[in-house]
Structures are given as C-alpha cells and as structure tokens.
C-alpha cells in the first residue's frame, strides 16, 4: 500500500468508497462509538463499530428519507432492533443531517440527553421506535411492514406514493428470542415483501460464542419460514453492501433476510470477535490503536473525526432527501388528481388517526356506536359479545385493523371480510395464529404506522405471554388495543390454567396502560367512545365470558365512564358506606347493597371500569364519587385485590381471589372462592363496625 493511499482514513479496511471523503466518513462512523464509550467507561461500541459500513450505505445510498422532515409519510423506515447499538443509529442520524449534534452523541446515556442508552421514540429525531429488549424491534418492524403494505394495496393505485419499505437490524440475540421466531413465521406466511431484516451474524453474545447455546442454521430456518435469504460476505465493502440491499428491497412475494457475516468491534485487534466487545470501554490503548488503524490520530476527538470533508460528503444525503421528498410530493399530487375518492378515504382515516392529539371521531363512527347501543345494552349479555359488536362496527368504518391469536370466534372479534394473506395484503383482518407475543409486538408496528388503531385478542390468562410488548407500547404511548376475554374464575370448567387471577392486578402495574373492565354492555360502548377520542395510549379491555345483567339506566354515561368511576345507585345520601367493583362484580355489589340498605344504611354502589382513568380525574369528580367522608368501604373483584387497598383504606375490606381457581362451573367456582353476596355483606358489616369504633 502506498503512503498516499494509507494516509486516507479508512482506506486500509474500507472497500468500495466513491471518494476519499466517503472513506473517511465511514472510518469516522466506526471510530465515533469507540471514542464515546471510552470517554464514558460504559456503553456498547462493538456492534456499532462493526455495522458502521452497512449503516452508512443504508442511510446515504439506500433509504428513502429526508433528514429535514423525519415524519415524511413517504419515507422508508429503519428500526434498530439491536437497540444496544444505539450509537450506530445516532451517528448516522447526525451525519445524515438530522437535528442531532455531535454534542448530543457525546452526551449519550446521561440524564436528560437526546441520545439515551437505547433508542426511544419521541426523544431523538429519526428514531422510529423504542428498542432494546431483544427481538421486539424485529417483530414490530413486521407489523409496521404489514400496515404499510396494506396502505399501499388499499390506496396507492400503482402510483408509487404509499410504497414504503421497512428495514430492521437484528443481532443473534434478537433471533434467539421467541418473539422473533413467532413474528418471522407469520411474516413468511403472509409474504410481507416490503420488509428487509438485516442480521448481524457476528456469532457472539455476552456469555461467549453463540454456539454455547445456539446451534441451528439460521439461514435455513428462515428459508423454511418462507423468507428469501441473501448474504453480505464482506462487511467492509460498501459496493457489495449496496448491491445486496438494493436487491433485498425488490418485491418478490417474500420477506428478505440479509445475513451479514461481521466481526464485532472490528478493527480492534485485542477484543474484536470476542464477548468482551459487547459492552464497556475498549481501553485507552486499544482505542488509540483503533484510531490509528483507521488512519486517524490516536488522540482524535469527535470534532476532529468529523471534519469538513466528512460533513460535505455525508450532508449530500440532505439534498438527496429533499429531492426524494419533492418527487414524492409530485407523485402524491398526481395521485390525488387521478384518484380523488381514494385520497378522500385516506384523508378521512388520517383525521381520525389514533396518533393525533386528540383524534377526531367521525359522524360515521358515532353512528356505528349508536347502532350497537340500540341493540345490545338492555338485556343480559357477555361484555365480550358487546365488544365484538363494537369491533365489527368500527372495522366496517375502516378505523380498526387487527385480529386474534386463533380465538376470534371465542373472543368475539370475528368480522366479515377476508383475511390478510400473501396474495391479499389489503385484507380486513389478520389471522395471527397461536402467537400471542408476536401479535402484541405486531400491534405496536401497526400503531407506529399511524393510520389505523390496532387491536388483538386472546384470553386474559394468556396476556402474560405479551408483557414485554405491552410494556414497550406503554413506554411509547402507542394506541394499541388488547382485547382480553374470559376474565376471571367464572371461565369455569377449563380450570385454573385458563382462569385468570393475578392478571388484572398485574396489568394495572404497567405505567401508561389503561385497564378497562366494563360492567355491562352500555359501559363497553361508553368506554370505546372514551378510547377513540382520547390521547394516544395503550388500553386493555377485560371482558366477561358469561352474561352479565344490564345495570339500571344511567344518564350521561359516556362522561361518567370517561372519568373512570361513577355512582351507579345509592340508598339515601349513600354516605355511610361505599361498595366498589368492576366488571361482572358490579351487579353483585348492587344486589349486596340492596340487602344492606334494608336496615336503613345509606349505601352507594360505585362502578370503576378503569382505575387509571379515575386516578387522573380531577379531584372534584373523585370526591363526588368517593368522598373522603365515607370511611367504610368495600372493593370487590374476582381476582387479586392488591390495587384496591388504596381505595378502601385501613378500615376498609377487599373481597377478592388470591389463589388459583378450580375446574367446575363458573358459578360454583365463584362461590367456592368467596365472590358472593353474603361475603360482600359480611365485609360491609365489618368495615361499618371498624369505622364506627375508630
């Protein structure tokens, strides 16, 4: 190698650069993570270093994006499933011209920084999703691709406006997590061909080589799923990377896995290819060696790494993005002129899009909900049945998109129409198969697209399979809707494996998740009105398998349910004792209250369909429903009672179920577990006595 060639940073390892400046830009992108992590003593540099050439090609040659408008609807999406490599993403966002400075990168992993330790939606411009828990980004990318492909199929009319692609970068850890297997299997079955999953095949995990616990042939596994598999052999060859990624985005009827055989932390001679490269600083000497190998001064800083030549070549991506955006706008104008009905329909969806603050509720949607109200609220009926009528009504108006984990008939979310398939991407609903975890992650991807409110259904006992995805949806404030039926031991004969006990209480511990357990058909419809018109956030509907009685007529029920709790009935002033319940137990406490009232006790019955909404109601409303002066309180719910002690106080009582159920009829199991009128009345007498003597 001649001295002149060696003097160009990056030229010793980077191949296929179009100029010396591009070679230096890629070398700088490799060096930045090493320098940042060394300066802090913590962080993840290894993957960010190894994947820097690929990320450079992706952001500067392949992705359709506009750094000046991160929310441009026509953009491709990139999700970093291997979220620990956040410096990889932050570096490319900065170099591409997003509103992110080198100082922001230097501040990564510090309190209040715009560059948190793992990517977070809404914190860093250009970040499409919060990631970090492995496999979640991969699975949600599939949901995003499904939704974008449906949008294209329904609205594009071959005009090239709504045809965005989704790229995701996953590591060995992502592909070991079960959620990625579930999601990849479904993606193959549905032929999601606007998806490119890039697999960093570095064969290293924290404990050591992947072959400690991972011996499968990943390429053949994905082929068996129905994916196309491509290989990048030289992870430092920019032209090879570009060629393979360009082929990968071609629509072939299959999702594509691009396998990149990389070496973690390359070009570090001492720790590359080892588990030591996953996290932590390289060390002062080794960082200097990496810089020298790349052709930089060993004492280089971020500002000297990113010199004028680097900025000049990488900021060409800004002008490229503006040009791509302009041409897209021209196509969009033609699309609107040629297909005004499609444009109007899509615009209507955007007006009610759940990510708007707040979304609009169209007259058509209100009419659909009114129709459900007229037909379902006056006779005893299972709340799952009424909810199913709402799902069908809203889906017919194009507001919802989702499906069930192989339980649509039982959870009552079956709707007319055709399912999404490889040949029918515009389908009305998704058969998720027996994949509860992937379903929840895919719902997040649909929500990230933003055009439809996603829903998915299963039995409440199986919500535990979904917790990592629910948690991320809550972290991102996504408007995902989880439909859970068979809500208590009243499930009956299927026994304790299918009878939820701890699930409702557990779901209520997730910050930002609203858990809604309606007492009757009317509450179901009112709760949906509140959800559709409220700010973006995830909700879980918890619904009964068994019929529940219709409660007495209530005025202004929509407003009352929106506040989370309200007084259903009271005797006298209702100021001696308050009985509180959710779901099917509201009818139980109403019967109990009438018995208690026979001796003149002023009792009130409170339905609290959503604890979280009541917590956020204003104090005046909370006091009108549950005034401090009422110290005798009983809360009743057919599950663990942990949350209710906040509302009943030290002298109150909770009637709940703190042990697993049994196999038998629902009414028999409820009685065996103490969810009875006599148990409620007894608890009421106890708390009345306790408060009287206190």
Q: Contact 638/490 with Cβ under 8 angstroms?
A: yes
Q: Catalogue the E-assigned strands of 551-624.
A: 566-570, 577-581, 603-607
Active-site choice (272, 436, 523, 585): 436
Q: Which residues pair with 205 in a beta bridge?
A: 208
Q: Percent helix, strand and coil across the chain, each rounded to 5?
A: 45, 15, 40
Q: How many CA atoms lie within 13 A of 219 on its CB side?
A: 10
Q: Contact 609/564 with Cβ under 8 angstroms?
A: yes
Please, which residues have CB within 8 angstroms of residue 94's CB and are 6 or more apart in sequence? 100, 101, 102, 104, 105, 306
Q: Structure tokens of 378?
A: 């006056």
The total of other beta-carbon atoms located within 10 Å of residue 659's CB is: 11
Residue 612 known to be catalytic: no
Question: b/e map of 128-146 (b: 16 or more CB within 10 Å)?
Answer: bbbbbbbbbbbbbbbbbbb
Alpha carbon 221 to its chain's center: 26
Three-state DSSP class for residue 241: helix
Q: Which residues pair with 485 in a beta bridge?
A: 459
Q: Contact 182/435 with Cβ under 8 angstroms?
A: yes
Tell me how far apart the alpha carbons of residues 636 and 608 are, in angstroms, rounded to a whole number.
11
Number of H helices, E strands in the chain: 29, 20
Tell me how far apart the alpha carbons of residues 401 and 406 are, in angstroms, rounded to a whole number.
16
DSSP state of 513: P
Tell me how far apart the alpha carbons of residues 236 and 50 are, in angstroms, rounded to a whole number.
8
Q: Active-site residue numbers?
A: 436
């Amino acid at each position: 190698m001649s001295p002149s060639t060696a003097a160009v940073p990056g030229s010793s390892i980077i191949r296929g650069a179009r100029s010396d400046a591009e070679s230096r830009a890629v070398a700088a992108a490799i060096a930045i993570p090493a320098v940042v992590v060394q300066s802090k003593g913590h962080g993840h540099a290894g993957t960010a270093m190894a994947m820097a050439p690929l990320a450079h090609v992706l952001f500067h040659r392949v992705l359709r994006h506009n750094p000046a408008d991160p929310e441009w609807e026509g953009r491709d999406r990139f999700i970093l499933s291997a979220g620990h490599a956040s410096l990889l993403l932050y570096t490319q966002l900065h170099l591409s011209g997003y509103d992110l400075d080198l100082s922001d990168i230097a501040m990564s992993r510090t309190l209040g920084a715009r560059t948190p330790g793992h990517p977070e939606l809404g914190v860093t411009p250009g970040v499409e999703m919060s990631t970090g828990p492995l496999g979640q980004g991969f699975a949600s990318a599939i949901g995003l691709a499904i939704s974008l492909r449906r949008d294209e199929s329904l609205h594009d009319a071959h005009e090239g406006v709504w045809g965005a692609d989704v790229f995701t970068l996953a590591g060995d850890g992502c592909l070991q997590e079960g959620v990625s297997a579930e999601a990849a299997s479904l993606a193959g079955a549905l032929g999601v061909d606007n998806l490119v999953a890039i697999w960093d095949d570095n064969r290293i995990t924290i404990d050591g080589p992947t072959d400690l616990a991972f011996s499968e042939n990943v390429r053949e596994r994905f082929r068996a799923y129905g994916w196309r598999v491509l290989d990048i052999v030289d992870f430092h060859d920019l032209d090879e990377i570009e060629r393979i990624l360009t082929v990968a985005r071609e629509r072939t009827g299959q999702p594509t896995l691009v396998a990149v055989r990389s070496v973690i932390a390359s070009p570090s001679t001492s720790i590359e290819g080892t588990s030591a490269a996953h996290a932590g600083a390289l060390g002062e000497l080794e960082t200097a060696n990496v810089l020298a190998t790349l052709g930089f001064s060993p004492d280089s800083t971020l500002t000297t790494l990113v010199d004028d030549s680097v900025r000049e070549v990488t900021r060409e991506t800004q002008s490229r993005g503006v040009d791509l955006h302009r041409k897209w706008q021209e196509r969009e104008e033609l699309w609107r002129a040629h297909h005004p009905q499609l444009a109007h329909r899509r615009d209507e969806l955007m007006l009610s899009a759940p990510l708007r603050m707040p979304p609009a509720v169209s007259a058509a949607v209100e009419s659909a909900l009114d129709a459900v109200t007229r037909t379902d609220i006056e006779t005893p009926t299972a709340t799952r049945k009424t909810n199913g009528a709402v799902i069908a009504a809203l889906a017919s108006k194009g507001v919802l998109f989702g499906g069930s984990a192989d339980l649509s008939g039982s959870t009552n979310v079956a709707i007319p129409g055709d399912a999404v398939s490889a040949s029918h991407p515009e389908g009305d609903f998704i058969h998720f198969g027996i994949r509860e975890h992937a379903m929840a992650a895919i719902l997040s991807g649909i929500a990230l697209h933003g055009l439809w409110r996603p829903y998915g259904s299963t039995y409440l006992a199986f919500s535990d399979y979904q917790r990592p995805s629910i948690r991320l949806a809550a972290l991102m404030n996504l408007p995902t809707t989880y439909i859970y039926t068979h809500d208590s031991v009243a499930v009956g004969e299927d026994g304790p494996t299918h009878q939820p006990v701890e699930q409702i209480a557990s779901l209520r511990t997730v910050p930002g998740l609203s858990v809604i357990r309606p007492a009757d058909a009317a509450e179901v419809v009112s709760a949906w009105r509140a959800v559709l018109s409220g700010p973006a956030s995830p909700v879980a509907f918890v619904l009964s398998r068994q019929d529940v009685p219709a409660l007495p007529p209530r005025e202004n029920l929509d407003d009352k349910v929106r506040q989370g709790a309200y007084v259903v009935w009271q005797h006298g002033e209702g100021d001696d004792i308050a009985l509180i319940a959710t779901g099917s137990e509201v009818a139980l406490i109403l019967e109990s209250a009438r018995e208690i009232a026979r001796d003149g006790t002023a009792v009130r019955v409170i339905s609290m369909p959503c604890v979280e909404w009541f917590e956020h109601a204003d104090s005046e409303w909370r006091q009108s429903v549950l005034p401090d002066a009422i110290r005798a309180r009983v809360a009743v719910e057919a599950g663990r009672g942990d949350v209710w002690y906040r509302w009943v106080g030290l002298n109150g009582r909770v009637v709940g179920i703190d042990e697993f159920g049994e196999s038998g009829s629902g009414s028999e199991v409820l009685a065996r577990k103490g969810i009875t009128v006599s148990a409620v009345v007894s608890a009421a007498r106890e708390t009345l006595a306790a408060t009287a003597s206190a």
